[in-house]
Amino acid sequence: MTSDLAATSVDVDRPDGAPPAGRRPGWRAAVRWESGLVLVLVAVLLFGSAESSTFLSPSTFFYLGTNTGYVAIMALPLMFIVMTGEIDLSVASMLGLSGATVGFLWHHGWPIWPAFAVALIVGALGGALNGVLVAKAGLPSIAVTIGTLTLFRGLAEILLGSLTVPAPGDRLLPASLTKIGVVPVPGTQLSYSMLIFLVLAVGFGVVLHRTPLGRSLVAIGLQPEAARFVGIRVNRIKLRLYILSGVLCAFAGILLTLQNASVSYNAGTGLELNVIAIVLFGGVSIFGGRGTIPGVVLAVAIVGALQMALTQMNVDPNVQNIVTGALLLLSVVVPSGGEAVRRARARLRRPAPGS
Amino acid sequence: MSVQTQAGPPVGGAQASRLMGLLRAREAGIALLIVLVVAITGLNNHAFLDAQSLQQLLTGAALIALLGVGETLVLVTRNVDLSVGSVVGLSAYVVGDLFKNEHIPVWSGFALGILLGAVVGALNGLIVTVLRVPSLVITLAMLYIIRGVDSMIVNGHTIDPSAIPSAFTAVGYRTILGVPWLAVIVAVVVAIAGYAMRSFRSSRELYAIGSNPDAAGLAGVPIGRRVFTAFVLSGALAGLAGTLFLALHAQVDNSGGSGYELTVISAVVVGGVAIFGGSGTVVGAALGALLLNTISQALVASRVSAFWNEAIAGALLLAAIGFDRWLSLRVTRSLTSARGAHRDV
């Protein structure tokens, strides 16, 4: 969708072999989904400000950041994984395991920074486990990561049990760090987690849209066989993406622990679905090979803003699920609906030259 | 059992029976594992072999096994249904609400629960087959939407035991000849589905679709209709499971059945159903559910902290898919060597 490579190879990939000559100019295809997202974002902002007088205030923006930032950080590596045609359902469990690791070590008297380091290493190891099973052993990523989803959450449960850290008698987490949950970055209304997400997003965007590695991801997603034949180390890239995902999810777990100033084993349970919803709503194709960073950033903004608006309207968080689900549904139904119409039109046109 | 579905060239009789043996070994292997877990736990803790404790093994696995049957139908077609947990919650609450406010008869509680599930399944099936979009995304979206709708209907209330007819909750705890009703109902469903999946042409076509959708289409299999039916059945069974959930727990709020979808998929995959379609049996799926529940109860009985439960379930799932992979590599190797032998002629 973004790059010429993606735009042209989609046609090659399409089994019905629509003639490339009939295609619209590349830039129209490139802006279609993302420009739709911009319109949705504007609509959400208008809706929010109409429904709640406090919606367009700096504090709303800050809370949007704290509520969405750590989720958005997990969406970035997942986006790359989905682009290669795989999936990682274990992200939220890794977040929980990382938080539990920090909590466990803190409870046993460790200083905070070494505890963070161990949590990140746990993230890398967990990601490597996913990666080895998917890329080296060739197991289906959906089954592997459902397994590690359960496994990581289970390990978190073993570490902390029913304990909430800091437990009575424990030291409090350092206030100089837990302040990221209550004060924005000085001089702005950005939460720290949102700022980190934006910085990471720029980095991911440069890699995806401006480097050979980014092109490789697109190629792997569109044609894994062909990608291997042109010398792309498909399995090595996938393995490294899973490790990256593990590390960043562990990092998100640390952020969440600090924001809440406490942690229990079930932090972030079920969040994997939100992360996937953001990635897919951002226009990343579940079949791999398509996706843009601006799309994912817009999806983060939309999901976050909608959540804030509905919360300020006192809509039950469980009922808000309907909106998340509807966005997810839209993200596949709209493109496929277009595809279905095109199929029907092609069927109407085909008999003419034949007769 | 599922050997007919293995795509590949015709193989010699000895080869085929060996294959059959390997695959059949899956159900037998799980059954053996269940017996082992029960026996070892029973040696250390005799209370584990009490009738009541054994009944608990069956009751605790019943709902997941029932959902596993529907999930198997969908998975063999190379699709997935993630909405089952939410359907359980919705049907449990709606049926409970009807008991409470409309005083409907017990049998119609079951009928309405099943119908409600079938409607959701039909919706899933329609979107997946008409728009040709990945079921993973559609049913994930439905998981959210149905849970949201459920929460809207629930609106902070709960159904408590006093609102439910006692004839209905009896289904949750009564036994026939020592076997819980729940287990009997699920066993009947598993038996019917198991027979159908082995013998009916239309069910064999589900395997064909999952093994190779293109080839199945060329062979004249009505793919859309079959996949649609699989989703409707999965939804209907989830609706039934929701009704049984209500009978079993006699109370429900807006969180009933949440997270079941992943437990069901774990159980089914442990039971030997391939996540990418084409193979697996409902009996295996039901045994997978029984194994997971047996292990978790055995941990409790062995006074291992229940905190170990999830980690072990996850490790078991990874072991199961790793084993499947190893098995399929072996089968492929034996098939290729068999083919090589034939080519010499």
SS (H, E, C) B247-297: HHHCCECCCCCCCHHHHHHHHHHHCCCCCCCCCCCHHHHHHHHHHHHHHHH
Q: What are phi and psi of A263, to 5 degrees?
A: -150, 140
Cβ–Cβ contact B45 with A under 8 A: no
Rg (chain A; Cα; Å): 22
Which pLDDT band, with edges at 50, 70 and 90, does A333 fall under? Answer: confident
Would residue B292 count as lying in a domain? yes
Nearest in space to A272 (alpha carbons), one of B250, B144, B37: B144
pLDDT at position B235 is 97
Interface of A with B in 67-96 (CB under 8 A): 87
> φ, ψ for residue B221 (rounded to 5)?
-75, 125
Lowest-pLDDT range of A130-134, A327-331, B92-96, B233-237: A327-331
Q: What 3-state DSSP class applies to B121?
A: helix
Structural domain contains residue B51? yes
Q: Given a cut of 60, is residue A4 above it in pLDDT?
A: no
Q: What is the pLDDT of residues B137-173, one digit of tens each?
A: 899 899 989 999 999 998 888 888 888 888 888 888 8
Number of residues that this document lists for chain B = 345
Spans of all domains in chain A: 56-334
B111, amino acid identity = A
d(CA A71, CA B152): 25
Q: For residue B286, tell me if it sits in a domain.
A: yes
What is the C-alpha radius of gyration for chain B, rounded to an integer number of angstroms? Answer: 21
Angle in degrees, 0-180, between the axes of helices A317-349 and B135-154, rounded to the nearest 10: 140
Q: Are B125 and B76 in contact (CB under 8 A)?
A: no
d(CA B121, CA B233) in angstroms, rounded, equals 7
CATH number of B171's domain = 1.10.3470.10
State how far the alpha carbon of A325 is from the alpha carbons of A87, A320, B37, B74, in Å: 19, 9, 40, 21
Name beta bridge partners: B176.
B179
Asked if A44 is an interface residue toward chain B (Cβ–Cβ < 8 A), one would say no
Whether B13 maps to a domain, the answer reads no
- Pairwise CB contact (< 8 Å): A273 & B144: yes
Name B325's Cβ contacts closer than 8 Å, sequence gap at least 6.
A137, A138, A139
Q: What is the mean pLDDT of chain A?
A: 87
**For residues A238 and A266, what is the distance between their CA atoms, to the nearest angstrom?**
28
pLDDT at res. B2: 39
Residue bearing the bigger pLDDT, B169 or A340: B169
- CA distance linking residue B257 with residue B64, whole number of Å: 10
pLDDT at A205 over 90: yes
Pick among 2.60.40, 1.10.3470, 1.10.1200, 1.10.10: CATH of A56-334 = 1.10.3470
pLDDT tens string A249-287? 999 999 999 999 999 999 998 888 889 989 999 999 888
For B267, nearest residue in chain A (alpha carbons): A147
pLDDT score for A34 = 87
ipTM: 0.81
Is the backbone of residue A6 left (phi > 0), alpha (psi -120 to 50) or beta? alpha
Beta bridge partners of B180: B175
Query: What average pLDDT values come out for chain B (345 residues) when binned by 10 residues?
Result: 41 54 74 90 86 87 95 94 94 92 90 96 93 88 92 87 87 86 93 92 90 89 92 97 93 86 90 87 94 89 82 88 83 74 48
Choose between A189 and A336: higher pLDDT. Answer: A189
Contact across the interface for A328 and B137, Cβ inside 8 Å? yes
Partner A contacted by B262 (CB < 8 A) = yes
**What's the number of domains chain B is made of?**
1
* CA–CA dist A2, A9 (Å, integer): 12
Query: In chain B, which residues have their Cβ closer than 8 Å to the Cβ of A286?
Result: 134, 136-137
**Average pLDDT, stretch A236-250?**
97
Provide the pLDDT confidence category of residue A10 given band limits of 50, 70 and 90.
Answer: very low
Task: State residue B17's pLDDT score.
Answer: 60
Residues in chain A: 355
Neighbours of B302 (CB within 10 A): 14
Nearest to B128 by CA among B86, B78, B85, B71: B78
Q: Which of A146, A152, A269, A316 should we substitute to test contact with B (largest number of B Cβ atoms within 10 Å)?
A: A146
- The answer to whether B322 contacts A324, with C-beta atoms less than 8 Å apart, is no
Is residue B340 included in any domain, yes or no? no
Burial group, residue A180, by CB count within 10 angstroms (0-12, 13-18, 19+): buried
Q: Which range is least confidently modeled, A24-33, A63-72, A145-154, A208-217?
A: A24-33
Strands B175-176 and B179-180: antiparallel
Q: How many CB pairs under 8 A join A and B?
A: 150
Q: How far apart are CA A215 and CA A205, in angstroms?
A: 12
B16 part of a folded domain: no
Q: Is residue B339 part of a domain?
A: no
Which residues 311-350 on chain A approach chain B with CB closer than 8 angstroms? 316, 318-326, 328-329, 331-333, 336-337, 339-340
Residues of A in contact with B309 (CB under 8 A): 154, 157
CB contacts of A276 in chain B (<8 Å) are: 140
Instruction: Quote the CA–CA distance of B195 and B193 in Å, as a whole number.
Output: 5
Interface check A12 vs B, CB under 8 A: no
Q: Chain B window 288-317: which residues touch A at a Cβ cutoff of 8 Å?
A: 305, 307-315, 317
The whole-number pLDDT of residue A24 equals 45
Looking at residue B9, what is its pLDDT?
Answer: 41
Confidence of residue A29 (pLDDT cuts 50, 70, 90): low
pLDDT of residue A249: 97
Name residue B183's amino acid.
A
Yes or no: say if A41 and A294 are a contact pair by the CB < 8 Å rule: no
The shortest C-alpha distance from A317 to chain B (Å) reads: 9
Percent of chain A scoring above 70 in pLDDT: 90
Note the pLDDT of residue A16.
Answer: 39
Across chain B, mean pLDDT equals: 86
Parent domain of B58: 25-40+47-324
Q: What is the structure's pLDDT at B331? A: 80
